[in-house]
Structure formats: structure tokens, C-alpha cells
Amino acid sequence: MLSALQLEQQRPRRPLPSLKQLYHEYILQRIEDYKNGLRRNELLNLANEAFAEMGTTQEAQFVLTEVLMADCVDRLINRRLRLPSYRRWLSQFKELRAAQREPTHWGIDRRCPLQFLPRMEQGIRRS
């Protein structure tokens, strides 16, 4: 049986994603969930709204690509869902992660010996 040190030496660790990356993944996931919940005609109406918005803001743009249209639709959905800004999301994310580090968050008694086991996350120390 391998020790924890041998196991850690065998597998190279990938760096954890940055908070900005986590935020963008969160936003994209919420937008995709919203799109998946729409019926086809609602999604087409949203695309028409995006097309109209692009026509008024980008008059010099003659060729509309699928990428531009998808970005515009995503921005419209972002506004409709009132998704949080990065700063607001970050404060909520940090509060949630801090709460998840407490044993009582998971229904574990404070006196339980499990809380004294070493952390699996690198760079996080118990204060």
C-alpha cells in the first residue's frame, strides 16, 4: 500500500483554477442552464432581440458571425438573470468556502476526531 507521500509524488498536481476562472465558469453555466430551459421559439425571440441590439450598437458591422450573436445573446441572458458581478460573487464564494471548512456545516460535531485530519487542499491552513 502506498503512503500519502508516495501517492502525492506519483501524480503531478494541476494548479487550482483562479477565482476569475471559477467566476467565468459559474456565469457560463448559469447562462447555459437558462438557454436549456427555454423553448425554441423563446430562444429565437431572444436571438432576434440580440440581433436588433447589435444593429443599433454596431452600425458599421456588416457581417454578423455566430460568435458575435452568441456573445450578444449571452450578455442579454446575463442581464435577465441579474447575475452577480465578480466582486459580489467573490465575497459570496469566500463566505461559502469558509462555512464549508467548518465541521458543523456538514453536520459533524465539533468534538469529532475527523476535524483533526490533515486537509486535502494544498495551501489551506486551519486557523
pTM reported for the whole predicted model: 0.57
For the stretch 46-62, pLDDT in tens is 888 888 877 655 555 55
Band of the pLDDT at 126, cuts 50, 70, 90?
A: very low
How far, in whole angstroms, is CA 85 from its chain's centroid?
Answer: 12
Band of the pLDDT at 107, cuts 50, 70, 90?
A: confident
